[in-house]
Amino acid sequence: MTGWTTLVDAETLASHLHGAGLRVFDCRFALNDTAAGEQAWQAGHLPGARYAHLDRDLSGPHAPGAGRHPWPSAAAFGDWLGRNGVTPETQVVAYDAGDGAFAARLWWLLRVAGHARVAVLDGGFARWSSLGLPVDTDATDVVATQYPVRFDAARLLDADAVAARLAAGGVLVDARAGERFRGEVEPIDRVAGHVPGAINRPYPANLDDGRFKPAARLAEEFGAMLGDRPATDVIAMCGSGVTACHHLLAMAHAGMPGASLFTGSWSGWIEDPQRAIATGAH
């Protein structure tokens, strides 16, 4: 039916919404009110969309160094996919309120599990609603399946692996806001600053008026950041391994796949008080 692997626009999704083999997930979430996303889904969502809760469904239990949104186990994520009727052949579309920051987490979970047919709705629920496209309040029943998940562990890095990759010339890109990266403010984590050697590209730099920039423009911007280094040298991080996935999605959309995720990100890095912390722009 479809073969969307990075982004899909609202008009295209609307024309395929009732096709076989499609599963849509609402990933709306608010860090300061963890019930708000699900309540928004209950109030109105894309027809057929099921809810994916960041803490409950797209994260796992805490482990040392895992940060605020620990990476889930392959078994737990596979069980969740199966309960939601997803098979390795399913075309999955994820969306959130607008910018894709939470939807990209589900996109990356599936991509690093080897599931190619997954895309983020460009512009999210905001653009869908602005176009007057249909919204539903029903909870859709699905037939449970089995989905044996195996993550590509080489692209899911802990703090020690990140330090080793940096020492070998890797590029660590921090998706947090500049003031958090520089250590000027820290509204969420107990320590401000950044991993020494990281560079800052706040994830909204991937967007233009609420939607992803064209692939060619993203390729130009990431290319300028990388110079002659390949995309496989990139490690994306943020506060907890969520908005970092926005960079992984943007790079894949730009035709620059192969980057990795620092799963624990800043909140995992600072769990060890012996780890070095940098402040300022560099």
Decide if 238 is catalytic. yes
| From 163, 238, 248, 251, the catalytic residue | 238
Instruction: Please give the Cα distance from 119 to 122 (Å, whole number).
Output: 9
- Residue 111 exposed, middle or buried by CB count within 10 Å (0-12, 13-18, 19+): buried
Count of residues for the chain? Answer: 282
Instruction: Please give the Cα distance from 196 to 198 (Å, whole number).
Output: 6
Instruction: Please give the Cα distance from 150 to 138 (Å, whole number).
Output: 32
If we measure between CA atoms, which residue out of 273, 252, 239, 15 comes closest to residue 155?
Answer: 252
181 neighbors 200 (Cβ within 8 angstroms): yes
If we measure between CA atoms, which residue out of 259, 263, 258, 260 comes closest to residue 241?
Answer: 263
Which residues are tagged catalytic?
238
